Chain A
Amino acid sequence: MERPQTGSEIDGFELTERLASGGMASLWRARHADFDVPLVLKIPFLDPGQDVSVIIGYEVEEMILKRLSGPHVPRFIASGDLAELPYLAMEFVAGVSLAKHAETAPLPTEEVVRIGIAIGTALADLHRQGVVHLDLKPQNVILAERGAVLLDFGLARHADLPDLLGEESAVPMGTPAYIAPEQVLGDRTDPASDLFALGCILYQLATGEEPFGRPSTTAGMKRRLYHTPRPMRAIRSDIPAWLEAIVARCLEVDRNRRYADAAKLIFDLRNPDQVVLPRSNRARPGGILGRLKRLFDRPSEAALVGTAAEDRRRAGPSIVLTTVDLSDGATPLAAAILAETQRLLATRPDSWLACLTVLKTDLVKETQYADSKGRSIYVKRLVALKDWARPLHLSEERVSYHVIEAVSAADAILRYAEHNQIDHIVIGARSSSALRRHLGSVSTKVVAEAHCSVSVVRIKGA
């Protein structure tokens, strides 16, 4: 075909304006009589002599984009026959490229957190659909009104599809500034690789520096297996310690220490007060002897990056929300809820628990915030909640406690679960009574409206 230019028509798509693009394809604003949304056409450069990976990348993107849906990806419209006229037509996403924001880095903490939550939410949705992006970088993220939208799936991997790029693993595929260590070693299966890239982006947005530079060789990219980047607070002392801790956890080389899923990352960004700060930087034996020892003890590269987080993700829920009513003290039902929670947490060693109890407030009467002796009811309930959860023996990294005041307990629980990407809710149900059936119970409403699994605990025979 002739070189596309403004005004060219391809299968009914009229090219209206050329957009900036990389070396693999040209990008065009376009319109089509059958579609009333603004469109983009991506036309791969398939000149003779062009690297075969350009074609493969085009095929990968077509295969994957077709199967994706939701607000965090551009809508797939059509594709041209590869043999005749290859192109990908998709929705034009209005918004600001994250690359623009990155140019103005360092950004204020609130802005970094807002962007982190937006991209994390997009990644959670992508990973839920079985896709790992594997080339997350500012140029591939648009911040739109509907949230972060991820672009360019030319290096991506779909769990249900053949990995056409997998055979090229001699050379790391990705962008040197953001590529995850396991990806450098040729592993293209782990959603945690996207969380590493997101860590690089957050580091860059917060400090104005890229954590690993832009190495041009495989050896240069492998440096990130052995060297942690400069602490963010050494670059900008006004960065909060909790943000440094969150980003450091994204950038863990060992995937057993990295976030296993985006949901927990989002939770931490939303609840900085719950982030556990490292007590000290991992101390390493100093001196020549220590350095010599490290030189000879050097573990294999594969051991450094650990095992894929997939097994952990499959084993059980990442974030469990357990709700308990302690207004009547430690009832048998509260004990049964605790036992069920313990069983759920046991499925997955890196799972994480949010304990929630609701302080009912009254719309009509004035709510009492203190008991007859003037002690805070809120604090009393928090103490009771911690005491209730104590037999779980969870380290502070694995649990948080929340007393929430609300008129409707069910609404409060549902809101909390939705907002924090909870995977599994544990809730108790009292024995059935005519009145409860008539009014509807808290657990009934939570079961009916939650977007995740719910375990309802009931005392047998009660």
Chain B
Amino acid sequence: MRIAVLSDIHANREALEAVLELVEELAPDQIVILGDLVGYGPDPEFAIETVARLVSDGALCVLGNHDEAARSDRDKLTPNAREAIRWTRTRLNDDHRAFLAALPLSITRFGCQWVHASAYRPESWDYVSDPEAALRCLAASTEALICCGHTHRPTVFYSHPNRRPTMFVPRDEIAAPLLPRHRHVIVTGAVGQPRDGNPAACFALLDLEEASVTMRRVPYDSEATAAKIKRLGLSSWLGLRLLIGR
């Protein structure tokens, strides 16, 4: 079974369209979206409507912290993110809000737990960015495989009983093996706001038979997205970071 895993779309229409074009070509058996459809980016309606269509076609989708902030009036975000989420709220209609409101925090299927940030108290939005956070995540789950996003940095953690997990940044486009006797946390890179220094959109292709995961990279017209952000009067850093992948 091959699963395309998309995380952190962040209302980036150009990136999402480019990724979905490749996903369509790859024809995976399943699509999973790991949350943060909105926030930061200029096209929240497009992101939600596109994901809603994928879900009605059988895709799975979980809730991200920006999605939660957009559907509520809580603002526990960094200043840039808060400004963007306030603007996002003004763009959403009842259908959009209803879709976000119905998203679960976590789903367990195909022998894998799917969650936006971490299996460890999913509602607290922990960052799985080091072996200790990966250990917390693994300890909170009974599954051998946990897939998350949230950090915007592609990473795979390999955990062997009684050992500190090995943190591995997989090479773009090269399959990283999933190993027997290990449990794994796959941190998927971001579709709509990569932060690993490579501005190309990222999604993960998980192959359960082959026991591997590949971080696929899709260059897209990030200048167009940055120009929209500028036109809308959102923080200029939100546009700049798309161009440099930080």
Partner-B contacts on A (CB < 8 A): 52, 55-56, 59, 63, 81-83, 159-164, 166-167
Q: List 5 A-B contacts (CB under 8 A).
A: A52-B162, A56-B163, A83-B181, A164-B160, A167-B166
Contact B180–A160 (Cβ < 8 Å): no
Task: Tell me if B203 is interfacial: C-beta within 8 Å of chain A.
Answer: no
Q: Contacts A55-B181, A83-B180, A83-B181 known; A162 to B158 CB distance under 8 Å?
A: yes
Contact A164–B158 (Cβ < 8 Å): yes
Which chain B residues in 164-200 approach chain A with CB under 8 Å?
164-166, 168, 171, 174, 176-177, 179-181
Contact B166–A163 (Cβ < 8 Å): yes
Contact B176–A162 (Cβ < 8 Å): yes
Interface-central residue, A55, A81, A159, A167, by most chain B CB under 10 Å? A167
Contact A59–B176 (Cβ < 8 Å): no
Contact A162–B163 (Cβ < 8 Å): no
User: 13 other contacts beyond A52-B163, A83-B181, with CB at 8 A cut-off?
Assistant: A55-B160, A56-B163, A59-B179, A59-B180, A82-B181, A159-B171, A160-B171, A160-B174, A161-B177, A162-B158, A162-B168, A163-B168, A164-B166
Total residues of chain B contacting the partner, CB 8 A: 17
The interface residues of chain A lying within 8 Å CB-to-CB of B179 are 59, 63, 164
Contact A63–B181 (Cβ < 8 Å): no
Task: Tell me if B16 is interfacial: C-beta within 8 Å of chain A.
Answer: no
A56 to B182, CA, bound (A): 10
Contact A59–B181 (Cβ < 8 Å): yes
Task: Tell me if B156 is interfacial: C-beta within 8 Å of chain A.
Answer: yes
The interface residues of chain A lying within 8 Å CB-to-CB of B166 are 162-164, 166-167
Contact A162–B156 (Cβ < 8 Å): yes
A56 to B131, CA, bound (A): 18
The interface residues of chain B lying within 8 Å CB-to-CB of A167 are 131, 163-166
A59 to B163, CA, bound (A): 15
A159 to B170, CA, bound (A): 10
A81 to B181, CA, bound (A): 10
The interface residues of chain A lying within 8 Å CB-to-CB of B162 are 52
The interface residues of chain B lying within 8 Å CB-to-CB of A166 are 166
The interface residues of chain B lying within 8 Å CB-to-CB of A63 are 177, 179
The interface residues of chain A lying within 8 Å CB-to-CB of B177 are 63, 161
The interface residues of chain B lying within 8 Å CB-to-CB of A55 are 160, 181
Contact B160–A56 (Cβ < 8 Å): yes
The interface residues of chain B lying within 8 Å CB-to-CB of A52 are 160, 162-163
A14 to B176, CA, bound (A): 33
A179 to B91, CA, bound (A): 62
Nearest CB in chain B to that of A56: its residue? B160
A368 to B241, CA, bound (A): 69
A167 to B160, CA, bound (A): 11
Q: Which 4 A-B pairs have the closest CB atoms?
A: A162-B168, A82-B180, A160-B174, A167-B164
Nearest CB in chain A to that of B165: its residue? A167
A160 to B179, CA, bound (A): 14
The interface residues of chain A lying within 8 Å CB-to-CB of B164 are 167
Could you mark each residue 119-161 of chain B with 1 if its beta carbon is under 8 Å from any beta carbon of chain A, else 0? 0000000000001000000000000000000000000101010
A230 to B131, CA, bound (A): 44
A208 to B131, CA, bound (A): 46
A166 to B131, CA, bound (A): 13
A141 to B243, CA, bound (A): 49
Within the complex, the shortest CB–CB distance from B159 to chain A, in Å, comes to: 10
Within the complex, the shortest CB–CB distance from B175 to chain A, in Å, comes to: 9
Nearest CB in chain B to that of A168: its residue? B163
The interface residues of chain B lying within 8 Å CB-to-CB of A159 are 171
A82 to B177, CA, bound (A): 15
Within the complex, the shortest CB–CB distance from B53 to chain A, in Å, comes to: 36
The interface residues of chain A lying within 8 Å CB-to-CB of B165 are 167
Nearest CB in chain A to that of B156: its residue? A162
The interface residues of chain A lying within 8 Å CB-to-CB of B171 are 159-160
Contact A161–B158 (Cβ < 8 Å): no
Nearest CB in chain B to that of A53: its residue? B163
